[in-house]
């Protein structure tokens, strides 16, 4: 089953998995992170631009490769303009697909804390 | 003879051509899992990757249980046996549990890490699919948890994502045994739930964790019965639990009741899609890590069939459903959970003791705790269908299932939230519709006026003609040994009444 490639769904065209973060870092000399958004669109993130926001990011090109995909909480400024801030932020949908276009991020504080949320009952997640 | 550990099983797979050892350096970051995925899709040997980038001395192995041949080897059978024979033996053994054995020293504790030295990133956790929420240290493993107020220890299979150096996360469904323990007992009593993740045992010890053995019954005894030998257990170093002594890696810890949840996922799932979104899920705090020298982490790169989870369902769900039908006196001839249908469909062949037997079976199977949650489509066929031959089943479905009278829907049924066809709301509520396709001739139909004779070589010709042609088949240059096929099958195809 699926021994050879099939056609791709038209609705998924335009998304991608992106370039190798280490290649991006090497090419641009900037750190690379990503964030996974929970909403169906980037509207909320667009509204957070240029403000100090606290959210969870993943390390995509750390010096120690074993740290790749580790989560960190950051206080940061972000922008959809790819070069506005120091480093690169990739934006990923909650189903994993990468939205086209790099964002930029200026990290003001980074901690090893995680993004904790309250227990809920009654729903299957 | 039972395999002592995953290493013995892997050697046997390699010897029988069901696995290959890869010595070239492979990246844990998508490389290893992509190899496993393609091997699954091509039906190729299981890759045993013994040189992992950034993790010298560690191995990653995948697709270890992804076809009937590997299932047969795991059970200690001839891999060329028909699936039905392999599964029936599994089913018979599952009725005779063997108590476990406690040992003092264990290979899984050759290395012990506790306290501030704990760092999950020292273990080789693969990043499995592009776009996954994180690295999954546990993708083909199980978690042992003690019941809050009894001496029962449950084993359950679930993913474990690495959040950071000391914390894992995963989906813990409230209707599963581990969920009932945590949400029903530990959380209301504000007590931490101990757990131990067990990675890399011989396959039977791992797969039983995914089966609905029953509340209060310990999977370890079941694994012993399937192996025909007790499972050796050793006491954990930091938690009140016993774990298989010959496992590759043990991670111990607690789920704290007063600690909040963490966003986990998404991850490619058994359905063949990345169904489950990123959601707040349980956080597993780690208190100790123990592992064998040169540990092997087992990777299930779940996706489209056929992979380990599909085969596991084909074995476990079949046995569970067979038990349900046996208890209820259904004259089942055979049952198949086609691996291509990812545990969502079952095909039953049955004698008809009374009319409407298809819906009787449906009401029994849709209600079972684990297998019923996944089961969506039930095909009920007459006894003349080989349920393992999907082409026969499709033919019966297309010709015998009345498009209106033969189909019954069951609304508002419980569902796993991972079903891809559910809306977002139905997924959260665990709500679906199930369906039974009655592919049997109605009991009230006349065998001479209404029920036609099937147009196969075996049905439309007299035995003397069949025998004559089968005996000559290879002499005429055809490759198939039809003489043997007829000899083996002629009693089954006999016109004589028993």
B344 vs B372: CA distance, rounded Å: 9
What is the DSSP annotation of B250-268? EEEEEE-TTS-EEEE----
Closest CA in chain A for residue B136: A69
Residue B83, domain member (yes or no): no
All residues of chain A having their beta carbon less than 8 Å from the beta carbon of residue B173 are: 124
Alpha-carbon distance B316 to nearest alpha carbon in chain A (angstroms): 22
Alpha-carbon distance B9 to nearest alpha carbon in chain A (angstroms): 26
Contact B262 A123 (CB under 8 A): no
Q: Between residues 82 and 141 of chain B, which touch chain A (CB distance below 8 Å)? A: 121-122, 127, 129-135
Structural domain for B467, as ranges = 457-497
Q: How confident is the model at residue A120 (pLDDT cuts 50, 70, 90)?
A: low
Residue B231, domain member (yes or no): yes
Pair B152, B218: CB distance under 8 Å: yes
Pair A49, A80: CB distance under 8 Å: yes
- Put simply, whether A11 touches B (Cβ < 8 Å) is no
Token pair of B408 as six digits:
């019954």
- SS3 assignment, position B300: coil
Q: Between residues 191 and 250 of chain B, which touch chain A (CB distance below 8 Å)? A: none
Asked if B264 and B344 sit in the same domain, the reply is no
- pLDDT value at A52 more than 70: yes
Alpha-carbon distance B301 to nearest alpha carbon in chain A (angstroms): 15
Asked if B289 and B171 sit in the same domain, the reply is yes
Asked if B419 and B462 sit in the same domain, the reply is no
User: What is chain B's Cα-based Rg?
Assistant: 24
Q: Which of B53, B128, B84 is nearest to B337 (CA)?
A: B84
Q: What pLDDT is attached to residue A40?
A: 78
Q: Between residues 21 and 40 of chain B, which touch chain A (CB distance below 8 Å)? A: 29
CATH number at B132 reads: 2.30.110.10
Asked if B461 and B415 sit in the same domain, the reply is no
User: What mean pLDDT is reported for chain A?
Assistant: 91
- Put simply, whether A9 touches B (Cβ < 8 Å) is no
ipTM field: 0.93
The pTM score is: 0.94
pLDDT digits (tens, 9 = 90+) for B344-403: 999 999 998 888 999 999 999 998 876 788 999 999 999 999 999 999 999 999 999 999
Asked if B409 and B472 sit in the same domain, the reply is no
Element (H, E) at B310: helix B308-327
Contact B260 A119 (CB under 8 A): yes
Q: Which residues of A73-87 are buried (b: 16+ CB within 10 A; e: fewer)?
A: bbebbbbbeeeebeb
Alpha-carbon distance A33 to nearest alpha carbon in chain B (angstroms): 13
Asked if B200 and B280 sit in the same domain, the reply is yes
Domain boundary at B299, B319, B346, which? Answer: B299
Asked if B278 and B346 sit in the same domain, the reply is no
Number of separate domains in chain B: 3
Domain boundary at B278, B299, B320, which? Answer: B299
Residue B8, domain member (yes or no): no
All residues of chain A having their beta carbon less than 8 Å from the beta carbon of residue B281 are: 125
Strand order in the sheet with B377-382: B332-336, B345-350, B377-382, B431-439, B407-414
Most B-contacting residue of A21, A40, A63, A69 (CB-CB within 10 A), to test interface = A69
Of A68, A96, A124, Cβ closest to residue B29: A68
Of B129, B183, B428, Cβ closest to residue A121: B183
Domain boundary at B412, B439, B466, which? Answer: B439
Asked if B461 and B430 sit in the same domain, the reply is no
Q: What pLDDT is attached to residue A96?
A: 87
Q: What pLDDT is attached to residue A124?
A: 53
pLDDT digits (tens, 9 = 90+) for B79-113: 999 999 999 999 999 999 999 999 999 999 999 99
Comparing A100 with B114, which gets the higher pLDDT? B114
Structural domain for A42, as ranges = 28-111
Comparing B368 with A105, which gets the higher pLDDT? A105
Residues 6+ apart with CB under 8 A from B261: A116, A117, A118, A119, A120, B280, B281, B282, B283
Contact A96 B130 (CB under 8 A): yes
Q: What pLDDT is attached to residue A123?
A: 53
For chain B, which residues score pLDDT lower than 50? none
Residue A3, domain member (yes or no): no
């Amino acid at each position: 089953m699926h021994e050879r490639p099939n056609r791709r769904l038209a609705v998924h065209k335009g998304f991608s998995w992106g370039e190798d973060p280490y290649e991006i870092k090497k090419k641009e000399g900037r750190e690379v992170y990503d964030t996974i958004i929970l909403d169906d669109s980037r509207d909320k993130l667009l509204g957070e631009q240029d403000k100090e926001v606290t959210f969870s990011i993943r390390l995509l090109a750390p010096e120690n490769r074993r740290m790749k995909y580790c989560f960190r909480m950051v206080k940061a400024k972000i922008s959809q303009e790819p070069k506005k801030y120091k480093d690169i932020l990739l934006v990923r949908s909650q189903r994993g697909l990468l939205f086209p276009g790099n964002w930029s991020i200026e990290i003001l504080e980074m901690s090893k804390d995680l993004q904790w949320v309250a227990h809920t009952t009654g729903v299957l997640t | 003879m039972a395999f002592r550990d995953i290493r013995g099983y892997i050697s046997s797979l390699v010897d029988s051509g069901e696995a290959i050892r890869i010595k070239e350096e492979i990246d844990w970051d998508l490389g290893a899992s992509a190899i496993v995925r393609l091997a699954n899709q091509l039906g190729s040997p299981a890759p045993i990757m013994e040189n992992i980038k950034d993790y010298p001395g560690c191995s990653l192995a995948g697709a270890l249980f992804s076809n009937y041949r590997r299932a047969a080897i795991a059970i200690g059978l001839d891999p060329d046996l028909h699936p039905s024979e392999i599964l029936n033996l599994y089913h018979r053994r599952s009725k005779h549990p063997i108590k476990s054995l406690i040992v003092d020293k264990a290979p899984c504790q050759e290395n012990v890490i506790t306290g501030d030295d704990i760092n999950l990133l020292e273990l080789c956790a693969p990043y499995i699919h592009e776009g996954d929420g994180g690295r999954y240290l546990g993708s083909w493993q199980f978690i042992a948890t003690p019941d809050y107020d009894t001496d029962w220890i449950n084993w359950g299979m679930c993913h474990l994502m690495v959040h950071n150096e000391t914390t894992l996360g995963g989906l813990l469904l409230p209707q599963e045994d581990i969920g009932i323990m945590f949400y029903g007992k530990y959380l209301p009593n504000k007590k931490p739930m101990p757990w131990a993740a067990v990675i890399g045992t011989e396959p039977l010890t791992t797969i039983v964790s995914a089966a609905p053995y029953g509340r209060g019954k310990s999977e370890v005894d079941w694994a012993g019965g399937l192996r025909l030998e007790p499972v050796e257990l050793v006491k954990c170093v930091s938690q009140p639990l016993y774990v298989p002594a010959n496992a590759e890696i043990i991670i111990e810890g607690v789920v704290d009741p007063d600690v909040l949840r963490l966003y986990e996922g998404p991850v490619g799932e058994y359905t063949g899609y990345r169904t489950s979104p990123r959601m707040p899920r349980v956080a597993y705090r780690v208190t100790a890590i123990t592992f064998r020298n040169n540990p092997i982490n087992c990777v299930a790169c779940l996706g489209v069939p056929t992979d380990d989870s599909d085969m596991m369902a084909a074995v476990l769900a079949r046995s569970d459903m067979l038990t349900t039908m046996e208890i209820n006196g259904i004259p089942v001839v055979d049952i198949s959970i086609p691996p291509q249908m990812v545990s969502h469909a079952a095909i039953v062949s049955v004698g008809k003791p009374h009319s409407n037997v298809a819906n009787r079976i449906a009401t029994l199977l849709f209600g079972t705790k684990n297998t019923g949650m996944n089961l969506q489509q039930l095909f009920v066929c007459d006894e003349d269908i080989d349920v393992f031959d999907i082409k026969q089943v499709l033919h019966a479905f297309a010709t015998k299932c009345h498009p209106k009278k033969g189909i019954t829907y069951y609304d508002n049924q419980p569902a796993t939230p991972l079903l891809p066809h559910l809306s977002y709301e139905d997924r959260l509520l665990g709500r679906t519709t199930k369906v039974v396709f009655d592919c049997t001739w109605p009991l009230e139909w006349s065998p001479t006026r209404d029920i036609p004779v099937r147009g196969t070589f075996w049905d439309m010709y007299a035995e003397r003609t069949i025998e004559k042609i089968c005996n000559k088949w290879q002499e005429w240059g055809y490759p198939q040994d039809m003489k043997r096929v007829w000899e083996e099958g002629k009693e089954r195809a006999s016109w004589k009444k028993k």
